Amino acid sequence: MMPDLEKIRDEIDSIDGQIQKLFERRMNLTGEVAEYKIATGKPVFDQDRENKKLECISESASSDFNAKGICEILRQTMSISRIRQYQMLAEHEDDLFSGYIQLEHLPVQEAQVIYQGLEGAYASEAAKKFFGKCVNTAHVGTWEEAIQIVSKKQADYAVLPIENSTAGIVQDIYDLILEYPVYIVGEQILPIEHELLGLPGADISDVRTVFSHPQALAQCKEYLKEHPDWEQRKLLNTAVAARKVADDKDIRQAAIASHSAGELFGLQRLEEKRLSTEKNSTRFIIISNQKYIVKNAEKISICFELPHKSGSLYHALSNLIYNDLNMTKIESRPIRDRNFEYRFFLDFEGNLSEPEVKNALIGIQNEADELYILGNY
């Protein structure tokens, strides 16, 4: 005899309705628990209690399949309950957002801006595009020097490359910005148009060695595959590479750098076709020693470390989902001296003044071992 499908579906609908009512009842009780924890200062997340509860439910299930299923449902329900408690906790929590300065615009009048490399480097172009051509700039040899100078308040801002659309992230920057008291206050996307530069009168057939920054070499790897006999030499900056070719006066040397670097050091373009993809661009971040937030800031960068346990990243990110926040980027970096443990760098859309952002960050803070707000810009 065939089952009555409509009757079965009606019963399932009835069960689903009961689940909805029980869920809403549970959320109401969750609110009462949150009020108790806020009043007593008890933490929202009690891992031991949740584990014992899941273990007990698993042992009483009628089959292994059902045990796994009900544990997953309860795990999700408890996660949602925590998010509700975090939302209530956020109404009483302000320490996470203290010290931020709300501004209409960044103070740039007579500001000192630092970048790594030389005049003609892409960072120099990014600085001029963000601050204006009359900005007072200075250059240093390394990214860490630039960050150190800003952290010591010897300069107002630094311009640092953080990722490229072709070659990916600039890993050192992610690690360095955690080591110093600096904050991201802006960003600049710069189209990158690399040129193969050589001495006046040189020809592409003369080239034996190409100098550039490792990122630029990576961005031009498809072009460089066409010249397997060329030696690739890494330098600190594309403009440094252009200056070396100019100083060495060796027609066998070429540099991959910007058009402005070629003009600055008196070099000529040796290759007519593009060296990298048509949509090659680099994202630069602007860092300050002040916690500035401009009025129209719409992106937040954070870093957090999580317990080395299954599901910890999912539960942290669920705070964005339940607050309707859009994550635009996530990267992981290994934590020094902790084998195979990682910290996560995450960008999402929002402003620290928005309640949903505050809710999400309080939730992530409670799920994480450490949370750092890198900037709102």
Which amino acid, one-letter code, is at 262?
G
Q: Which residues contact 199 (CB under 8 A, 6 or more apart)?
A: 245, 246, 249, 250, 251, 253, 267, 268
DSSP string of 7-28? Answer: HHHHHHHHHHHHHHHHHHHHHH
284 is catalytic: yes
Select which of 166, 282, 345, 348 is catalytic. Answer: 282
Backbone angles phi, psi at 127, to 5 degrees: -60, -45
CA–CA dist 81, 50 (Å, integer): 12
Which amino acid, one-letter code, is at 47?
Q
CA-wise closest residue to 299 among 190, 374, 359: 374
Strand-strand pairing, 168-169 and 292-294: unpaired
CA-wise closest residue to 367 among 318, 327, 331: 318
Residue 175's SS3 state is helix
Provide Rg for the chain, Cα atoms: 27
CA–CA dist 52, 55 (Å, integer): 5
Is there a contact between 194 and 219 (Cβ–Cβ < 8 Å)?
Answer: yes
Both tokens of residue 196? 């193969």
Select which of 284, 344, 345, 348 is catalytic. Answer: 284
CA-wise closest residue to 128 among 274, 267, 258, 254: 258
42 C-beta neighbours (distance < 10 Å), count? 10
Catalytic residues, by residue number, are 282, 284
